[in-house]
Structure formats: structure tokens, C-alpha cells
Amino acid sequence: MSNEQSPLLPGSSSIFAPVRKAGHVSRPGHVSIWRVVFVFCFLVIPLMLLIDVEMPGLGFGSEPESAKHLCPQTEPLYPVANAKVAQTVLHVLDSHAFLDRAVAALSGAVQIATETYDTLPPLEKDPNAWKEFASFHLYLKKTFPLVHDSLKLTTVNTYGLVYEWTGSDTDLKPVLLAAHQDVVPVNPATIDQWTHPPFSGYFDGEWIWGRGSSDDKLGLISILLAIETLLSHKFQPTRTVVLAFGFDEEISGTQGAGKIAPYLEETYGRNSFAFLVDEGAGLVQQYGALFAAPGIGEKGYFDVRVDVTTEGGHSSIPPANHHTVSFWCLRTLAQAKAGYWHTVPTYRHI
């Protein structure tokens, strides 16, 4: 068997990016992203890399040196097939003009209050209740003209957005980049407690304030801004890229992602995507470097309604061993100890 190793990704090489001239200031994280993800995906989150995200709860159990034998690292990857585009775009990302553009794009998106509530009526029953999403779509079209001129856009259930950026090699499985347009609602009674108004999109020189500035208009705008930037430099992906943006993720996603998923399966087939990039676990600063934490599982969700009937009585003096809440808790505990529930891996289809 040969000791030679082929590149982890086609069109890449395990070399470091060219050294920049002294005095050139770059933002932390930009080059590392380019080194570890192939020519498109390292641009998916440029805006995220401009904003500090602290995740104190996410840490690593051992120091890097002592962990090397547990998790051997390959050399960083740097794009070769599109090296010229890579260098050009890296300089764009390091510019003040790009920072201003990214801030303006996200700030403008935050200013459109695409709130979703559990009490919102279904779209087909009251379209007017969802009208903010129409405004948001107009904003996206105005802010990202190259995306809307170059990519195929399909609307699913009125406000679900699916873009397709056709690659040069249609035999390759496409990649799927997902985000959601809606944000958690703001309780009007708490508005005076905000440092800056929740839909102001205010930029204080370091942070953008408002609903969606993190969850998840940050991700959505980053994806579109990355593609807009690549298109402006005549980049053509080898692999088809599909974008899917739901509009009710904060209230379970039944009308957004719930409708987009069957559309994607019908259009592209089952198990048809090479990989999926979604919100994920975010970015974390560790050991002097910026890490994009990988998602190794999918959180589940379910609603439970419990009806328990016992003999009557006042809760202040409940019957012995028959208080409704206590009875249910004891029964639940007993079932848990007996192994009543079991986990089902989300990767069972692989």
C-alpha cells in the first residue's frame, strides 16, 4: 500500500495560505475558515466572523497537546483550483468597505420585524398576519441583486424560499445551506428594558443590536452575502448549492421547513445532499483561535399532553399517595428507571 495520501477535498492542497505582507491587518478567523472548508463553504459565514460570539458553556476537556493522540489533526487545506478567486475575496473580506456592507445588510434585515407567535393563524387563513415576510423578501431582492439575477428562486408555501445555484458538475450531490427568516417575538412590556430598541438594528461599532442579529438573520444574511460576493468575482461552483430559508422555525417550523422538506425530496430525491449546513452550534473562541463547532446530532422535539384523573380533594390536604402531580411524577420516574424510553439515533438512515 502506498504511503501517499490524496487530498481530503478535490481542488485543494494541504499547504498554508500565502504569507501576507507585514503591516496588513486581517480579522481573526477568516484565513482559518478558508483553510478548513473548500472554496465555497468557507464563505458561508463571513458576517459571523466579523462579530464576536461568546459561548462560555462550550469548552474542551483537555489541552491541545495532550489531546493530539485522541484527535489527530490533518494539515489545513487551502483552495488551489480557485486560488486566484480565493486571494481576491480574502482581500475583500479584510476591507472596511466589506465590513460596512455586511453591517448595513444585517442591520437592515433586523429592522424588519418578522416575528412569529404560537397564536399566529395558519397562513392560508390569514395571509395578512404574515405580511412582514413579504417586506423581508423585497429587502433581500434589493440588497442582493446578483443572487436574484443568477440563482433560481422557488417559493414554497408563499414565504418559504429555496434558491438553487447550479454547479458545473451536476453528477455531484448538491450541498444544502439552511436558515430561517423569523425571529422570537418581543414582549411590548419589556421594550424599555432593551439597551437599544429590538428592531433598530443599531450598530455600536462592535455589535449589531436587535432580534435576529444572531438568531438567525445573521446566518441567512451571511449566506446571501457570501454568494453575492462570489458572484461579483465571476465564481462558478463545481457542486450545486441549494439554499432553504423557512419562516416559522421559532414556532416549530410546520409551515416553513415542514413544507420545504417534501419539496426538496420531490425535487432532488432522498439522501440527495452531500451535506447540510444549518445554524449549528455557532463560533467559539478557544486556545487563541476561532472554532466553528460541528453539529454531531439533531435535537428532537415533541409536545406532550397529560390527562390524569384521581379522586377529588383539596390540594392543601391531598389524599395520601394519590395527589395528582405526585402520582404522575412517581409513575414517570418508575417508567424512566424501567427503561421505558429509549433514544433513536438521527443517523440511522446512513
Amino acid at 245: F
Give, rounded to a whole angstrom, the gap between the first and last alpha carbons of the chain: 28
Cite the DSSP H helix spans in 160-304.
Answer: 217-232, 257-268
The candidate with the shortest Cα–Cα distance to 159, out of 125, 192, 134, is: 134
The β-bridge relationship of strands 275-277 and 175-180 is parallel
184 neighbors 250 (Cβ within 8 angstroms):
yes
201 torsion bin: left (phi>0), alpha (psi -120 to 50), beta (else) = left
CA distance 59 to 50: 21
Does residue 249 carry a catalytic annotation? Answer: yes
**Catalytic pick from 115, 216, 248, 249?**
249
Is residue 341 exposed (0-12), middle (13-18) or buried (19+ Cβ within 10 Å)? exposed
* Known active-site residue 126: no
Residue type, 41: C
Q: Which of 115, 132, 182, 228 is catalytic?
A: 182
- Residues 135 and 112: beta-carbon distance below 8 Å: yes
Kind and range of the H or E element at 241? Answer: strand 241-246
d(CA 113, CA 133) in angstroms, rounded, equals 9
217-232 helix and 96-110 helix, angle to the nearest 10 degrees: 140
Residue environment code for 162-177, b if the CB has 16+ CB neighbours within 10 A, otherwise e: bbbbebeeeeeebbbb
Which active-site residues does the annotation give?
182, 249
